[in-house]
Amino acid sequence: MELRVIEKTDDELRMEIAGEDHTFMNVLKGALLETAGVAAATYDMNPEQSGGQTEPILSVKTEGDVDPLDAVGDAAGRVRELTDDFRTAFESAA
């Protein structure tokens, strides 16, 4: 996973997350949309053959005083907690 910030202001962020695909990006986007202070979040990914930008680009827009990079960090932390919870629940049922 290689990060490259393309554009960053106080309330907007565009960042390339190289090496990831829909598997992780969609989970992350879902978590971002449920993070406090996030007004909009999406990602864009092009197919391999398109010849242009094929690595996913995450776009986040925040409201209030939330820094978009912090929001991404929060969302990633949330995903990690979710997978840990899932593991615990799955193991106790198994």
The binder of another protein chosen from 7, 9, 18, 34 (CB under 8 A): 34
Strands (E), 1-94: 2-8, 12-18, 38-44, 57-62
The position carrying tokens 């995903």 is 79
C-alpha radius of gyration, the chain, whole number: 15
The binder of another protein chosen from 28, 38, 41, 66 (CB under 8 A): 28
Select from 89, 81, 84, 86 the least CA-distant residue to 35: 81
Q: Does 76 bind another protein (CB under 8 A)?
A: yes
Kindly state the tokens that stand for 54. 């094929």
The binder of another protein chosen from 47, 52, 65, 90 (CB under 8 A): 90
Q: Does 45 bind another protein (CB under 8 A)?
A: no
Q: Does 23 bind another protein (CB under 8 A)?
A: yes
Cβ(38)–Cβ(21) below 8 Å = no
Candidates 37-45, 46-54, 82-90: pick the segment binding another protein (CB under 8 A). Answer: 82-90
Interface contacts to another protein, rule CB under 8 A: 1, 3, 17, 20-24, 26-31, 34, 69-70, 72-73, 76-94
